[in-house]
């Protein structure tokens, strides 16, 4: 069968999910193309992100001749999924299925538009569906899939998780594949050759300030050891109750993938391990992985950890192997909010662990710490607790600041619905850019300290009760919002300048040998 997969949420073309689906289908003889549409769109008057008619028409045209079209997206891509699906239905006679986190959670909503919805892991389920359709068997009984038939919803059981991750083929970066991506400035979808692929895989702005180096993203595990109430894992875990939720690839299998990619694409960039918590393994496992990686790969790499899973021994092994970019989630300094988020560590522990990371600053010069702001349940006291914690974290660091969103399926989304903070089925709960902070004085102070060389005593003075009462006014909100926007534009401009300069450096000095 000819299958076209469309990715609507991953901001570059790394898209581990659809690349894994593609390679799995290809393994069993199917013809697969991928269209990456996540890096485009414009905001409408209603606040929704939509693609232009020209882009939708191009995507629809590329789907001609397909026997099945699949869309993968997060909640933020919902409106564009509707837009693309309506066009496919209008112009082509082809079944359209949806998958991803949002589709898993909001089955009934998604079946208003899609012919089928895949819940949970998709490799085995999608292959089963394709085989059933191609052989004329009853596809309405496909596990993991939900359908609407004769006005009623058919929700099939979810098959067991894939336990042997080494059995999966490597991500689909096969040279010559039918992969396409939207070039936003040109409003045009182009076929990806390796030069264009490198363009998309080279960050210009964002969390990785690595100059002009290309980034290859993969995962060594699936599942997360934490149960944070704002995360989709709080829904996924009950779906797979009684099963081993966290599954890991062997170190040898990961090295084989990276070695093949390097050989096929002459790659000497940065490896991004996108595991939910890369350091949530025993120290001896970190040691053996790091030894093998340092010996066989030796490139700089990025990973995510958490305050409860890092240790001096782990960081020693990882930095010796090439760890250069590290991130973990702190989210809040408020003890009350930590309980709501199910984040059980104390501020003292966070200060201790960020101090530990700071001792490795020769290898990790700029660690990334995540915080969630604009929580509707937080008071000024809670916000000041977070600020006071940040002031105690040793610099240098980068703060990844996110504005709170009610994502369907999370425990906090359910709580917000009960309290009437969000309407059931309302897309406005997760619409908009999560990085766009509200114009609040507490956000201003955190942003100021994180992005400018402002001494902590001055921030403490500005956070004193009298100053806070004077400057924490709604009338000043437009000023704080404008400050955030201008600062972000300046940061993006500076990142682009550094990128251009690094591209012009002579020889191969930007590559790591």
pLDDT digits (tens, 9 = 90+) for 478-498: 999 999 999 888 877 776 666
Report the percent of the chain where pLDDT is more than 90. 74
The pLDDT-based confidence of 512 (bands split at 50, 70, 90) is very low
| Average pLDDT of the residues in 333-361 | 96
SS3 167: helix
Query: Which of the four pLDDT bands, split at 50, 70 and 90, describes residue 440?
Result: very high
Whether the per-residue pLDDT at 472 is higher than 70: the answer is yes
What is the number of domains present in the chain? 1
CATH number at residue 133: 3.40.50.280
426 or 102, greater pLDDT = 102
Query: Which pLDDT does position 495 carry in this prediction?
Result: 66
**Residue 120 falls inside a structural domain:** yes
Averaged confidence pLDDT in the chain? 90
Domain membership of residue 13 (yes or no) is: yes
Residue range(s) defining the domain that contains residue 74: 2-167
Mean pLDDT of 174-190: 90
Indicate whether 498 belongs to any domain: no
Q: What pLDDT is stored for residue 39 in this prediction? A: 63
Let me know: does 26 contact 32? Beta carbons within 8 Å.
yes
- H-helix segments, 342-476: 347-358, 380-392, 411-418, 441-451, 456-462, 465-471
pTM score, two decimals?
A: 0.91
pLDDT (0 to 100) of residue 284 = 97
Q: Which of 53, 83, 88, 84 is nearest to 67 (CA)?
A: 88
Task: Report yes or no on 418 lying in a domain.
Answer: no
Report yes or no on 417 lying in a domain. Answer: no
Q: Of all helices (H) and strands (E), which one includes residue 39?
A: none
Integer Cα distance of 104 and 128 in angstroms: 17
Neighbour count for residue 348 (Cβ, 10 Å)? 10
Yes or no: say if 172 and 218 are a contact pair by the CB < 8 Å rule. Answer: no
Q: Say yes or no to pLDDT of 426 above 90.
A: no
Q: What is the pLDDT of residues 200-252, one digit of tens each?
A: 888 754 455 555 688 999 999 999 999 898 888 888 888 999 999 999 999 99
Which tokens in the block code for residue 384?
């000041």
**pLDDT higher than 60, residue 417:** yes
Residue 326 lies in a domain: no
**pLDDT score at 227:** 87
Q: Residue 153 in contact with residue 111, Cβ under 8 Å?
A: yes
Orientation of helix 347-358 relative to helix 312-321, angle to 10°: 30
Question: Computed over its alpha carbons, how large is the radius of gyration of the chain?
Answer: 23
DSSP code for 161: P
> Does 211 fall in a domain?
no
Residues 271-297 have a mean pLDDT of 97
Q: How far is Cα 103 from Cα 432, in angstroms, rounded to an integer?
A: 19
pLDDT value of position 38: 75
In a domain, 176, yes or no: no
Question: pLDDT tens digits for 70-116?
Answer: 999 988 889 999 999 999 999 999 999 999 999 999 999 999 999 99
pLDDT band at 510 (very low <50, low <70, confident <90, very high): very low
Helix 123-135 and helix 16-27, axial crossing angle in degrees, nearest 10: 40
């Amino acid at each position: 069968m000819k299958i076209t997969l469309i990715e609507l949420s991953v901001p570059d073309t790394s898209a581990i999910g659809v690349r894994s689906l593609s390679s799995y289908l290809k393994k069993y003889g199917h013809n697969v193309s991928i269209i990456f549409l996540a890096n485009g769109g414009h905001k409408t008057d209603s606040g929704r992100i939509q693609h232009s008619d020209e882009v939708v028409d191009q995507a629809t045209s590329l789907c001609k001749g397909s026997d099945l079209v699949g869309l993968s997206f997060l909640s933020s891509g919902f409106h564009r999924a509707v837009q693309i699906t309506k066009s496919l239905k209008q112009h082509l006679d082809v079944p359209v299925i949806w998958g991803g986190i949002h589709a898993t959670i909001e089955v009934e909503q998604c079946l208003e538009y899609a012919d089928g919805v895949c819940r949970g892991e998709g490799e085995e389920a999608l292959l089963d569906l394709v085989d059933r359709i191609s052989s004329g068997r009853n596809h309405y009984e496909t596990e993991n899939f939900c359908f609407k038939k004769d006005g009623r919803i058919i929700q099939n059981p979810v098959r067991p998780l894939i336990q042997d991750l080494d059995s999966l083929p490597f991500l689909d970066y096969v040279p010559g594949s039918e992969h396409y991506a939207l070039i936003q400035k040109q409003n045009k979808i182009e076929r990806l050759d390796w030069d264009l692929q490198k363009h998309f895989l080279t960050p210009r702005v964002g969390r990785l300030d690595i100059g002009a180096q290309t980034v290859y993203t993969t995962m060594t595990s699936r599942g997360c050891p934490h149960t944070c109430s704002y995360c989709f894992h709080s829904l996924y875990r009950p779906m797979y109750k009684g099963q081993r939720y966290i599954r890991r690839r062997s170190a040898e299998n990961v090295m084989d993938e990276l070695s093949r990619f390097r050989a096929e694409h002459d790659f000497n960039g940065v490896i991004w391990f996108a595991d939910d918590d890369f350091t949530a393994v025993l120290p001896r496992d970190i040691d053996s992985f790091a030894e093998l990686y340092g010996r066989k790969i030796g490139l700089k790499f990025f990973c995510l950890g958490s305050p409860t899973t890092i240790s001096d021994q782990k960081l020693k092994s990882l930095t010796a192997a090439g760890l250069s970019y590290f991130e973990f989630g702190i989210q809040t300094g408020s003890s009350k909010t930590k309980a709501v988020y199910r984040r059980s560590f104390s501020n003292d522990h966070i200060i201790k662990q960020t101090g530990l990371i700071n001792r490795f600053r020769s290898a990790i010069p700029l660690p990334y710490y995540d915080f969630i702001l604009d929580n509707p349940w937080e008071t000024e006291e809670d916000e000041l607790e977070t600020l006071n914690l940040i002031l105690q974290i040793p610099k240098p660091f980068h703060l990844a600041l996110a504005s709170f969103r009610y994502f369907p399926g999370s425990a906090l989304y359910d709580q917000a619905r009960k309290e009437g903070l969000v309407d059931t089925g309302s897309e406005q709960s997760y619409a908009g850019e999560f990085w766009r902070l509200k114009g609040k004085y507490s956000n201003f102070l955190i942003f100021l300290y994180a992005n400018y060389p402002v001494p902590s005593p001055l921030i403490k003075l500005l956070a004193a009760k009298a100053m806070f009462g004077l400057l924490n006014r709604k009338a000043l909100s437009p000023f704080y919002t404008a400050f955030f926007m201008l600062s972000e534009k300046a940061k993006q401009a500076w990142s682009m300048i550094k990128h251009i300069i690094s591209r012009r450096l002579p020889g191969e000095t930007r590559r790591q040998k």
